[in-house]
Amino acid sequence: MKAVSRLVGGKELTLLGILVFLVLLGGFLSVSYGSWSIGKQEILQILLERCGLYDGAVDKVESTIVWDGRMPRLVVAFLVGFSLAAAGAIMQGVFKNPMASPGVIGISSGAALGAVIALYLGLAARSLFILPLSAILFSLVTLALVFVIATSRGQTSISTLLLAGIALNLIFGALTSFVITLSTREFDVGRVIVTWLMGDLNNRSWEHVQIVLPTTLLGLAATLFFVKDLNILMIGEETASNLGVNIRLARNSLLLASSIQTGGAIAVSGVIGFVGLLAPHMVRGLIGPDNRKLIPIAGLLGAVFVIYADLFVRLVVQVDLKIGILTSLMGGPFFLYLIIRHRNRFEYL
């Protein structure tokens, strides 16, 4: 108990309580409101009935709307936001850079390219699991490519890793644009690809939850296993080596975990940018850099971002605005703010 009290203080508990409340409130609003509004009592009865805890009569139409339509969409939004924010926290810790995010070494672009290829070739229509598998596979291949480029004589340079990621981002972005150009010959395929690239949670089902839940849990488990090593790595590699940390194993495992989380999230939601940048940075400013607290709390904040962004595009705006567009409109100015704030730390020629 003393160890727990030292790890989680009053500020962390307050922030955690606020985020949990926001998640529950967002979940209630997401399940209750839409083109068909459903009351609190009916929602509770439906959820209890689906869990086998209520034997009374429920409206079958409302039950389908809540359980098969809105609930999986809510769960996917939570898992996607959590995964992207946790992956961003890992990246910022490994690279010791507050402007790092899942897209910094090309992982997001690689996953997007894999998904777009699966959509263009019609493979995604054969099975719901082909698109996420393609996205995750390409994210892992991207990670492997970056490490091959950045590793020389058994040593991996962080700066070279970042530069390789920038280069692969450009290459994969160009290839994605090329595939989109080819897909314009078939209107329906092109529309699906463009919509997916904008980030979208429409028509999500429990099958999508089955895709992103394992990647979220696997990535989080691996991250928490190496979280103490990550804290030491942030002090410096020389210090970490002197304290017995296997630097290569810890760093590679953490980046692999972030790749799995990012690939799984992008696979079910499309490209939702800047969540992995904003959430960890904001939480770090509130509770400090200890990744044992930072990663799970940043994950919750990322989930709040995506849940409320989905609520905004679904209930507030009257046009077909996609989540990825909204998060980019929010994240772009924030990224510029970070650049201006940290510009004195940059090296000038």
pLDDT of residue 87: 94
Q: Which residues pair with 155 in a beta bridge?
A: 152
115 CB contacts (<8 Å, ≥6 apart)? 124, 131, 132, 134, 135, 138, 196, 266, 267, 270
pLDDT of residue 4: 45
Amino acid at 69: G
pLDDT more than 70, % of the chain: 92
Query: Residue 156: which pLDDT band, with cuts at 50, 70 and 90?
Result: low
**Rounded alpha-carbon distances, angstroms, from residue 142 to 113, 207, 212:** 10, 26, 19
Query: Residue 318: which pLDDT band, with cuts at 50, 70 and 90?
Result: low
Query: Residue 5: which pLDDT band, with cuts at 50, 70 and 90?
Result: very low
pLDDT of residue 8: 60
17 burial level (CB within 10 Å; 0-12, 13-18, 19+): exposed
pLDDT of residue 19: 96
pLDDT of 216 over the 90 cut: yes
Nearest to 54 by CA among 41, 70, 35: 41
pLDDT of 139 over the 90 cut: no
**Residue 201 tokens, joined:** 């949670």
pLDDT of residue 7: 57
Nearest to 132 by CA among 51, 191, 211: 211
pLDDT of 104 over the 90 cut: no
- Which range is least confidently modeled, 80-94, 236-250, 301-315? 236-250
Angle between helices 247-269 and 227-235 (to 10 degrees): 120
What is the pLDDT of the chain when averaged over all its residues? 85
Q: What is d(CA 67, CA 31) in angstroms, rounded to the nearest whole number?
A: 9
Nearest to 310 by CA among 196, 199, 213, 191: 199
Nearest to 76 by CA among 275, 274, 213, 261: 213
pLDDT of 348 over the 60 cut: no
pLDDT of 281 over the 60 cut: yes
Q: What is d(CA 74, CA 78) in angstroms, rounded to the nearest whole number?
A: 6
Q: Which residues pair with 152 in a beta bridge?
A: 155
Q: Please give the residue that has the higher pLDDT: either 26 or 34.
A: 26
pLDDT of residue 326: 84
The mean pLDDT of 247-251, rounded to a whole number, is 88
Nearest to 109 by CA among 121, 119, 101, 99: 101
**Residue 285 tokens, joined:** 């400013």
Return the top range by mean pLDDT from 109-118, 124-133, 189-198, 213-222. 213-222
Query: Residue 38: which pLDDT band, with cuts at 50, 70 and 90?
Result: confident
Phi, psi at residue 314, to the nearest 5°?
-90, -35
pLDDT of residue 169: 87
Q: What is the pTM of this model?
A: 0.88
Is there a contact between 120 and 183 (Cβ–Cβ < 8 Å)? yes
Which runs of consecutive H residues, i.e. helices, occur in 96-205? 107-120, 130-150, 158-183, 187-197
Return the top range by mean pLDDT from 76-90, 198-212, 279-293. 76-90
Residue 27's Cβ-side half-sphere holds a number of Cα atoms within 13 Å equal to 19
Return the top range by mean pLDDT from 7-11, 36-40, 205-209. 205-209
Q: Is 152 helix (H, G, I), strand (E, B) or coil?
A: strand
pLDDT of residue 293: 93
Class of domain 75-343 as given by CATH: mainly alpha
Is there a contact between 30 and 311 (Cβ–Cβ < 8 Å)? yes
**Residue 81 tokens, joined:** 């936001």
The mean pLDDT of 191-215, rounded to a whole number, is 87
State the Rg of the chain over Cα: 21
Is there a contact between 319 and 305 (Cβ–Cβ < 8 Å)? no
How open is the CA angle 93-96-102, to the nearest 5 degrees? 60
pLDDT more than 90, % of the chain: 31
Q: What is d(CA 108, CA 115) in angstroms, rounded to the nearest whole number?
A: 11
How does DSSP classify residue 64?
A: I
pLDDT of 76 over the 90 cut: yes
281 CB contacts (<8 Å, ≥6 apart)? 92, 98, 338
Q: Is 112 helix (H, G, I), strand (E, B) or coil?
A: helix
